[in-house]
Amino acid sequence: MIRKADQISYSFNDGGNPAWSYSRWRSFRYCPVSYILKYAILQYPQNLDLGEELRRAKKLKTAGEWMEDMLGASLREASTSAGFSVQEKTELFTKILKRDLNRDCKNIEYGNKLNQLEILEIENGIEKETARFLRKCGELLKAFIETLKSSEIIQEVLCVGNLNIKRIPSPVSFFHEGFTVWCSPDIAWTQSGKHNTLIFRYVHGELPDKYESPVPSMLCGLMLHKLYKAQVERLQAHEFKFDISGDNEVLSRKADAINFSAVTMYIKECSETIRKSPLPQLSELENFHRKDSAKCRRCKFMRFCDELESPFSCV
Ligand code: SF4
């Protein structure tokens, strides 16, 4: 339990530079309190329950994030498996995904504490029937992968060969214009002199217009330029969006005219908005009351907020 007297310090810097990522910006827009909890609290009394509960909340994944992770991991494993033809790798992609899906579903359903995979929709009570919900996620995922398999990009990744796949950690950070920028490519590869990255992104509800902000994929392109000296005209950043609300539609987009000045401007403007925002201080929180809003119900910190002596508000 956190007390009003406890000292909490905020820091948004990484190695002395302001840190920036698209998910930080998204988290801030969702709720500044969730942004502070997820990214900024550096020191808190270790002997209080707060630490464990906060760590647990940070690790919660939405079903969409869980699916994104599985798609990325399956594609990486299939594309780097040696001794298979492209056709066999395509089948392998599906097999790996099904294997991981079964493993995760069992762990989630039977609450395997060692695995530590907890799904927000289940933990926050949005989905009451765990088995049914997991079955629905699995069906969606299998349908996505069937659509993905016929994509030229996926076929290219599966046939480029081990040596052309770049081993890039995800997330990865790089320095850009005074910022430490983080991005999370699912896979990166080189083919015919082009340097490619690919990310999977989920949406909930209608798939957005294809011109909706391509910032996450452009950041991956910028990362290849900064860390791997890839020439701008040789960059291609791909993304696959899938709708987890049930429509089996996959939207792919290629950002090969990566506009660095537009991305830089975006980073600066978002950072400035956060910097100027009066983020709530702990001492002020007693005046707030967390609403049982739809936003809070879909928030990773709902249980954590419930634990607080002075509840946060949804701002
Ligand atoms: S539960 Fe609500 S108030 Fe608390 S961090 Fe989440 S969105 Fe914000």
pLDDT, tens digit, for every residue of 69-94?
Answer: 999 999 999 999 988 888 899 999 99
Please indicate whether residue 33, judged by its CB atom, sits closer than 6 Å to ligand 1: yes
Question: Which pairing describes strands 17-21 and 179-183: parallel, antiparallel, or unpaired?
Answer: parallel
Q: Are 74 and 151 contained in the same domain?
A: yes
Q: In angstroms, what is the span from residue 276 Cα to ligand 1's centroid? A: 20
Query: Within a domain: residue 176?
Result: yes
Q: In angstroms, what is the span from residue 120 Cα to ligand 1's centroid? A: 13
- Asked whether the predicted pLDDT for residue 286 surpasses 60, the reply is no
Query: Within a domain: residue 172?
Result: yes
Task: Report how far residue 278's alpha carbon sits from residue 234's, in angstroms, rounded to the nearest whole number.
Answer: 42
Confidence class for position 243, pLDDT limits 50, 70, 90: confident
Long-range contacts of 50-54 (CB under 8 A, 24+ apart): 50/1, 50/2, 50/6, 50/307, 53/303, 53/304, 53/307, 54/304
Q: Are 158 and 289 contained in the same domain?
A: yes
Q: Are 108 and 173 contained in the same domain?
A: no
Query: Within a domain: residue 5?
Result: no
Q: What is the pLDDT of residue 274?
A: 85
Q: In angstroms, what is the span from residue 277 Cα to ligand 1's centroid? A: 17
The enclosing H or E element of 134 equals helix 130-149
Q: Which atom of ligand 1 is nearest to the CA of 313?
A: 3
Q: What is the pLDDT of residue 11?
A: 65
How large is the average pLDDT for residues 254-269? 83
Q: Are 66 and 143 contained in the same domain?
A: yes
Q: Are 158 and 170 contained in the same domain?
A: no
Query: Within a domain: residue 26?
Result: no
Q: How many domains does the chain have?
A: 2
Q: Are 299 and 243 contained in the same domain?
A: no
Q: Are 128 and 45 contained in the same domain?
A: yes
Percentage of the chain surpassing pLDDT 70? 77
- Taking only the tens place, the pLDDT of each residue in 109-167 is 887 666 678 999 998 899 999 999 999 999 988 888 888 888 889 999 999 988 899 98
Q: Are 191 and 274 contained in the same domain?
A: yes
Q: What is the pLDDT of residue 297?
A: 85
Please indicate whether residue 181, judged by its CB atom, sits closer than 6 Å to ligand 1: no
Query: Within a domain: residue 1?
Result: no
Q: In angstroms, what is the span from residue 76 Cα to ligand 1's centroid? A: 34
| Strands lying side by side in the sheet with 13-14 | 13-14, 17-21, 179-183, 172-176
Query: Within a domain: residue 13?
Result: no
CB neighbour list of residue 214: distance below 8 Å, 6 or more residues apart: 237, 239, 253, 255
Domain that holds residue 67: 34-162+282-315
Q: Are 63 and 198 contained in the same domain?
A: no
Task: Report how far residue 16's alpha carbon sits from residue 13's, in angstroms, rounded to the nearest whole number.
Answer: 6
Query: Within a domain: residue 115?
Result: yes
Q: Are 227 and 123 contained in the same domain?
A: no
Query: Within a domain: residue 27?
Result: no
For ligand 1, atom 7, name the residue with the nearest CA.
296
Q: Are 255 and 297 contained in the same domain?
A: no
Q: What is the pLDDT of residue 222?
A: 93
Look at 37-41, 95-99, 228-232, 262-266 and tell me which has the smallest mean pLDDT.
Answer: 37-41
Q: Are 129 and 259 contained in the same domain?
A: no
Q: Which atom of ligand 1 is nearest to the CA of 32?
A: 8
